[in-house]
């Protein structure tokens, strides 16, 4: 099984699962189902049927460079394969759109990629090195709304075409993940995304040195960015086996996204090159988890992530087991409450520390997750060697919280039960709003549990659920006080937390959503990127996690168990703990096909 190196910057790159949405389960349906042994004539994979997956919300958009949410990524991974993939069994890089692994210069500053010569985009136009260079131009263009991706390519100095199927990339500094990051480039077609050739004649190096561009090139490049950011949010076109053929009919907001297998796919039947067995991949947008479980049992979904109460109470009957399988494992996911440090209330770390002391993480894991998870103290997964296991559990300690707030100058001076403080000559109450995405019952329960503890020490907080896209827009524009969210991190390769924690990423559209700024953390994040010794990288990240632990820009909450449920009519299903399953391998015997 293979997976592409995670596309840099997304809330969840290449992730199969939606975020957990806790809710009460529906009644079971006792129905005869597939899963019996197959006759010899049906043991080989065949084409046909649909794979119907659940999205908990509409994608932010389907522009492969500007989108930065897990929902978009789950759709786009079918349309835009990368140059290289990671074999999840061997953890080795292997070529996909590239013909072979890159030729790397001895100084590690030069990469030559040679591409397959048989690849076409879904409109039939051949894929060439010009498309890879164009993808780099768009990614590195400072006016394209992709700062979350751009930071991974900061080491690039120049890139150029050698011939139609070869290109050269020159770096200004080494980065220990460059082979993975450059291999993760998912090319987009130049002829489609820049039909007027606005970036023609402008090099990658010139776009990087934006301030030095002459007036004509800057005008053309600015017009490109304006169009690129605006015009391609709902009509992606890539070289993958599946395509959004009719955006008007196949992308219906709040209902569905339908991807159809290309009859002209350039590598038919080659699952290693990300062909698939099903004729269609259908994403149904189902916001509510209870409704999603009903849809699964009714046959309107083929896979979903269950929350703990559904796993334990609503899917344990013989009838469910006859029709569906389940698999429980831990992935590199964690939930958190993020404190917006661009808000004056949260600039003092003692306030953030106090609020973290008011969140009973163990109780949340036991009562909300029913024990199917573990509290976390840092953003590095315990499945990775870079995890700092020496960090003690952050204690639930209301008394300590009250002392910290008093030290920070917060007292109830007017007797209204709410702490206040004079800031800038005015009396400011310690009150704020926590937001999260609608339909995520688990996050709602986390927030409400915290609100109760906050109120007991004089902190007034409220909670609001927002539509996913509205919430993301507010978070990315720093238009919030606090937010309950989560990150998925890959566990196959060493982490790089620059995107989330470096101060340069605390900009609109960046991923440092809480505006965290710390000079020592910046130095560590920069040094880590150019360090090739795993032991030294471990030392650096141990210290980074100590800083985050002390600063509490997030209240790190928990890592939940991932609970998969899928229809047993599918064959070829295998799960790698902590990683997931390659959906391209799933197939349905003819006798079980439904669509």
Specify whether the CB–CB gap between 2 and 582 falls below 8 A: yes
- Tell me: pLDDT of 143 over 80: yes
- Tell me: pLDDT of 18 over 60: no
d(CA 537, CA 386): 8
Q: How does pLDDT run across 331-352, given as a tens digit for each residue?
A: 889 999 999 999 999 999 999 9
For the chain, first and last CA: distance in Å? 26
Secondary-structure breakdown of the chain: helix, strand, coil percentages, each rounded to the nearest 5: 30, 20, 45
C-alpha closest to that of 252 among 276, 208, 282: 282
What residue has token string 């006859």? 322
Query: What pLDDT sits at residue 36?
Result: 61
Query: What pLDDT sits at residue 91?
Result: 81
Q: How does pLDDT run across 374-386, given as a tens digit for each residue?
A: 999 999 999 999 9
Q: How does pLDDT run across 179-195, given as a tens digit for each residue?
A: 999 999 999 999 999 99
Specify whether the CB–CB gap between 143 and 219 falls below 8 A: no
Q: Per-domain residue ranges for the chain? A: 333-560
How many Å separate Cα 19 from the centre of its chain?
10
- Region 427-432: what's the mean pLDDT? 97
DSSP 474-537: HHHTT--SEEEEEEE--SSS----HHHHSGGG-STTSS-TT----HHHHHHHHHHHT---HHHH
C-alpha closest to that of 245 among 229, 271, 263: 263
* Chain mean pLDDT for the chain: 92
What residue has token string 């020496």? 390
Query: What pLDDT sits at residue 88?
Result: 78
Q: How does pLDDT run across 499-543, given as a tens digit for each residue?
A: 999 999 999 888 999 999 999 999 999 999 999 999 999 999 999
- Tell me: pLDDT of 177 over 70: yes
Q: Above pLDDT 90, what percent of the chain?
A: 86
- Tell me: pLDDT of 10 over 90: no
Query: What pLDDT sits at residue 491?
Result: 85
Q: Above pLDDT 70, what percent of the chain?
A: 93
- Tell me: pLDDT of 23 over 90: no
- Tell me: pLDDT of 40 over 80: no
Query: What pLDDT sits at residue 542?
Result: 99
Axis-axis angle for helices 534-551, 349-357 (nearest 10):
90
Domain 333-560 annotated CATH 3.40.50.970: no
Query: What pLDDT sits at residue 490?
Result: 77
C-alpha closest to that of 520 among 496, 501, 536, 505: 501
Axis-axis angle for helices 398-407, 349-357 (nearest 10):
160
What's the burial of 493, exposed, middle or buried (CB within 10 Å: 0-12/13-18/19+)? middle
What does pTM read for this prediction?
0.86
What residue has token string 């991807």? 259
- Region 384-396: what's the mean pLDDT? 97
Res. 276 pLDDT band, cuts 50 70 90: very high
Q: How does pLDDT run across 56-79, given as a tens digit for each residue?
A: 999 989 999 999 888 999 999 999
């Amino acid at each position: 099984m293979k997976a592409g190196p995670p596309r840099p910057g997304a809330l969840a790159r290449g992730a199969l699962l939606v975020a957990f949405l806790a809710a009460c389960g529906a009644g079971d349906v006792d129905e005869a189902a597939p899963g019996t042994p197959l006759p010899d004539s049906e043991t080989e994979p065949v084409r046909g049927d649909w794979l119907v997956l659940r999205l908990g919300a509409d994608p932010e958009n389907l522009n492969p460079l500007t989108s930065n949410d897990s929902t978009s990524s789950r759709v786009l991974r079918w349309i835009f394969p990368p140059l290289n993939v990671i074999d999840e069994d061997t953890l080795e890089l292997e070529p996909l759109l590239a013909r072979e692994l890159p030729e790397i210069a001895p100084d590690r500053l030069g990469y030559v990629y040679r591409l397959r010569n048989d690849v076409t985009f879904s409109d039939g136009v051949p894929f060439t090195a010009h498309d890879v260079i164009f993808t780099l131009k768009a990614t590195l263009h400072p006016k394209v709304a992709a700062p979350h991706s751009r930071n991974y390519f900061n080491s690039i100095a120049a890139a150029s075409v050698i011939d139609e199927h070869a290109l050269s990339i020159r770096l200004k500094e080494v980065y220990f993940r460059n082979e993975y990051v450059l291999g993760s480039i998912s090319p987009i077609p130049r002829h489609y995304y820049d039909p007027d050739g606005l970036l023609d004649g402008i090099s990658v190096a010139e776009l990087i040195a934006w301030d030095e561009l002459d007036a004509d090139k800057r005008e053309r490049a600015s017009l490109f960015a304006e169009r690129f950011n605006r015009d391609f949010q709902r009509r992606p076109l890539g070289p993958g086996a599946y395509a959004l053929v009719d955006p008007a009919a196949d992308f219906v907001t709040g209902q569905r996204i339908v991807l159809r297998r290309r009859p002209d796919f350039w590598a038919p039947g080659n699952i290693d090159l990300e062909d698939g067995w099903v004729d269609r991949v259908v994403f149904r947008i189902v916001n509510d988890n209870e409704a999603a479980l009903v849809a699964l049992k009714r046959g309107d979904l083929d896979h979903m992530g269950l929350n703990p109460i559904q796993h334990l109470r609503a899917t344990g009957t013989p009838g469910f087991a006859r029709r569906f399988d389940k698999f429980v494992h831990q992935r590199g996911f964690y939930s958190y409450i993020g404190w917006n440090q661009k808000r004056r209330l949260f600039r003092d770390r003692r306030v953030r520390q106090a609020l973290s002391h008011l969140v009973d993480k163990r109780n949340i894991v036991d009562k909300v997750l029913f024990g199917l998870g573990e509290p976390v103290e840092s953003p590095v997964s315990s499945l990775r060697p870079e995890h700092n296991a020496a960090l003690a559990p952050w204690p639930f300690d209301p008394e300590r919280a009250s002392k910290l707030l008093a030290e920070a100058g917060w007292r109830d001076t007017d007797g209204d039960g709410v702490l206040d403080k004079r800031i800038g000559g005015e009396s400011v109450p310690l009150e704020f709003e926590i937001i999260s995405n609608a339909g995520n019952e688990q996050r709602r329960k986390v927030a409400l549990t915290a609100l109760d503890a906050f109120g007991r020490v004089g902190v007034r907080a409220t909670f609001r659920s927002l539509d996913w896209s509205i919430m993301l827009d507010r978070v990315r524009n720093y238009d919030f006080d606090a937010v309950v969210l989560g990150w998925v991190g890959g566990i196959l390769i060493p982490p790089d937390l620059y995107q989330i924690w470096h101060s340069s990423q605390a900009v609109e559209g960046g991923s440092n959503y809480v505006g965290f700024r710390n000079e020592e953390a910046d130095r560590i994040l920069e040094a880590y990127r150019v360090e090739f010794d795993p032991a030294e990288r471990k030392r650096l990240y141990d210290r980074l996690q100590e800083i985050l632990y002390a600063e509490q820009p997030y209240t790190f909450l928990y890592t939940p168990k991932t609970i998969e449920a899928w229809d047993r009519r599918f064959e070829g299903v295998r799960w790698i703990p902590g990683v997931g399953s390659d959906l391209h391998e799933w197939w349905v015997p003819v006798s079980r096909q439904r669509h």
